[in-house]
Chain A
Amino acid sequence: MIATDLIGIEDLECADIELILETAERMQELGERAVKKVPTLRGRTIVNLFFEASTRTRTSFEIAGKRLSADVINFSTSGSSLSKHESILDTARTLDAMQPDLVVVRHHVAGVPKRIADELDSPVINAGDGWHEHPTQALLDMLTVKQEKGRVDGLTVAIVGDISHSRVARSNIYGFLKMGAEVRVAGPPTMLPPGIETLGVKAFTSMREALDGADVVMALRIQLERLSGSLFPSVREYSDTFGLSRATLRYAKDDAIVMHPGPVNRGVELSHDLADHRPSVILDQVRNGVALRMACLYLLAGRERAIDPAVRS
């Protein structure tokens, strides 16, 4: 790994992605042991700094850190100065003074993890920033695909849903393209950002065309609370047109797998049946998330930022 931080898949080299995935595969064996803990990060402190509600990602990072014997501290918006109008940079500087070995940041505004990384001595992992990136989600998705299909190179991956407002989609687009897959995106025209094809993906508004011959179909969560009525006429219409079910899945390859970053809106972007059964691999994604985050913590915790000493003082 060349970089000190993990801010986005866009910044990673192919070799970095391969190293992270290989390390995660080795970490998976730990989950099978009676004692699931190794002493690797003993005495190190990892801070989960979550400015946006999250249970799954935060818990995944927390378990990952604890399995490596790190002390994991959670800062979240409720019950801390994060809700007392302290500026982000003041919060970051306060944290830095406590000398953590690694900070995991989630924020609803794109760019905040990067800004905090610039301020801190310790490495920073982006756990999701606005509509920008969610790199560990894309990495765990690639790990899941690699394990299901034996490779990523040469596969066709279709991502369906609100592409414009999805950091998961953006990170997966960068990641799967770098690893040699063909990436397609599909959704209502209001949810496809103009110029998305310049990233190297193909955009579709028809499920039949988007899924035709796909090896992997990834459904994104529709944020009902925010979007219903503005970007599509009704939830019912969305699910009729872009919802993934056994019927729509027939357009894809016979052995296609179905993925979802969770939490699932059952009956909206994914049918009940698919949410629970193969070929969906949703719980494998969650399981792989722990091993993948262990790999990221192992590779980054304690790394030192290469700062010109003159600048630092």
Chain B
Amino acid sequence: MSNDLPQSPAADAPAPQGSPAQANVVLDDAAIRRALARISHELIERNEDLSSLYLVAVPNGGVPLARELAKNLRELGDVDVTVGILDTTLYRDDLVGRGERPRLRRTEMPSVVDERVVVLVDDVASTGRTIRAAMDALMDFGRPRSVQVVALVDRGHRELPIRIDYVGKNIPTHATDNVLLEGEGGDLDGPLRVVVVTPSRTGRDGA
């Protein structure tokens, strides 16, 4: 789950706003796996030394995606790529506010990042603030040789000079839309899908 918007865990699901919000599936499980397969090929193409790769997932959505990428790289490149999980919450730039504190997620960094090519894996890229936080967090673990970024969905609305190196799908969205990676069965271990939740705007504009 991208941390771009401050949300309490209960608010990960879109809140009903009077009239029902509309949810469209923009990527189903097969489409997600195809996109990750293509990204795996791009990772192999752009990185000569696959053994130095270190996939670092931004929880929660990045975790199943990074695992799938690691599985693809094992099959395609015959290489075991380390997978880590890095929570960015404590590095967020919106904690100065006065509200409820966001719930922390787990961090598991099984090996050192020094001299590794770290590939950050997030589900939905938007403002770039989560990636900024992830890079700061990463630097506290060591000095990677370089950092690249994978996002399954790039929905635009960038607010920081952050480039996504590998994009699964560009999905233009309205700023008030909510883009979510979710498990079809409720948890992220099974089949996945990406939905765009559009809050009902009836009465606000005719477009």
Contacts and interface: CB of A to CB of B under 8 A. Distances in A.
Contact of B91 (A22, A39, A43): A39
Given A38-B140, A299-B101, A302-B96, A26 B91 contact: no
A27 B87 CA distance: 11
A298 B141 CA distance: 21
A23 B104 contact: yes
B101 A35 contact: no
Identify the interface centre among A19, A26, A27: most chain B CB within 10 Å of its CB: A26
B204 interface: no
Nearest to B140: A35
Quick one: which of B98, B105, B140, B142 has the most chain A CB within 10 A?
B140
B159 interface: no
Contacts of B91: 38-40
Contacts of B96: 43, 302
A26 B136 contact: no
- Chain A contact residues: over half helix, strand or loop, or mixed? loop
Nearest to A69: B90
A26 B87 CA distance: 9
A22 B140 contact: no
B98 A304 contact: yes
B38 interface: no
Contacts of B136: 39
Interface string B67-98: 00000000000000000000100110001111
Contacts of A34: 140-142
Nearest to A29: B107
B106 A1 contact: no
A22 B100 CA distance: 15
Contacts of B103: 19, 22-23
Interface residues of A, number: 22
Contacts of B141: 33-35
Contact of B90 (A1, A35, A40, A299): A40
A29 B106 contact: yes
Interface in A275-310: 298-299, 302-304
A169 to B, nearest CB: 30
A302 B98 contact: yes
A26 B98 contact: no
A34 B96 CA distance: 26
A33 B109 CA distance: 9
Contacts of B137: 38
Contacts of A298: 90, 101, 104
Given A19-B103, A27-B104, A40 B140 contact: no
A65 B76 CA distance: 47
A26 B105 contact: yes
Interface string A45-80: 000000000000000000000001000000000000
Given A38-B91, A39-B90, A26 B107 contact: yes
Nearest to B104: A26
Given A38-B91, A39-B90, A298-B101, A33 B140 contact: yes
B71 to A, nearest CB: 25
A304 B95 CA distance: 13
Contacts of B98: 302-304
Contacts of A23: 103-104
A5 to B, nearest CB: 15
Given A38-B91, A40-B95, A302-B98, 19 more contacts: A19-B103, A22-B104, A26-B87, A26-B104, A27-B104, A29-B107, A33-B140, A34-B140, A34-B142, A35-B140, A35-B141, A38-B90, A38-B137, A43-B96, A68-B90, A299-B101, A302-B95, A302-B97, A303-B98
Interface of B: 87, 90-91, 95-98, 100-101, 103-108, 136-137, 140-142
16 contacts: A1-B100, A26-B104, A26-B105, A26-B106, A27-B104, A29-B108, A30-B90, A33-B141, A34-B140, A34-B142, A38-B90, A38-B91, A39-B136, A43-B96, A302-B98, A304-B98
